[in-house]
A = this chain, B = another copy of it.
């Protein structure tokens, strides 16, 4: 037989999942829950702690225990789509902060990723992307300059990079990605608003355009606490 606090945990979880306890709102206090379930406060504390550990609840110093925003399903690993398109299909509001867009000579890594010489200039576009006002992913993108000489004048706060590629007659038709997981360093922590050492999804992506040429090399760091990725595989 399961311990009492497991039953209580399951009951609270059901109330979260059914929306009785709403996202972002406080749940009843420990004392109220102890009265309701007719158990001691330590039992309630155990049940609540399990839900905190599982990411369903969060303890806030002044407000009490609140229901967490659930993680966002990302199909980044499943299909080729722009970030805004995918998120707006899910009913989420996105925003993009263009941290920098400049033209520079590529490092060895970027040369090798884009198959170019170190004398060929590239755009370096750094974007911080938000979902429902929270920073979600930091993306650094390298693009060969000679392929898109007019790109410098595009406002990527309003325009989607993949739409721009398409408008130039050179759409991305294939993407290879590599996924690692790393700990947030100080900069990532500051930009994504998570603690140093928290896990982050770390992608390297290669976008192929006309003639199978790599027209985009991107490094994306997704918050681990806000996202999950889905896969659907057939034999």
Tell me the count of chain A residues lying within 8 A, CB to CB, of chain B: 34
* A78 nearest CB neighbor, chain B only: B233
Residues of A149-197 whose CB lies within 8 A of B: 171-183, 197
Q: Is the interface of A mostly helix, strand, loop or mixed?
A: strand
Contact A231 B182 (CB under 8 A): no
Residues of A42-89 whose CB lies within 8 A of B: 71, 77-80
Hey, which chain B residues are within 8 Å of A178, CB to CB?
A: 228-231
When the two chains form the complex, which single residue of B78, B200, B228, B233 contacts A79, counting CB atoms closer than 8 Å? Answer: B233
Hey, which chain B residues are within 8 Å of A10, CB to CB?
A: 108
Q: Is A224 an interface residue (CB 8 A)?
A: yes
Contact B174 A199 (CB under 8 A): no
When the two chains form the complex, which single residue of B175, B181, B201 contacts A200, counting CB atoms closer than 8 Å? Answer: B181
Contact A232 B174 (CB under 8 A): yes
Q: A residues touching B (Cβ–Cβ < 8 Å)?
A: 10, 71, 77-80, 108, 171-183, 197-201, 224, 228-235
11 more CB-based (< 8 A) A-B contacts, given A77-B179, A179-B229, A183-B199: A77-B77, A77-B233, A80-B234, A174-B235, A175-B232, A176-B230, A177-B230, A177-B231, A179-B230, A182-B199, A199-B200
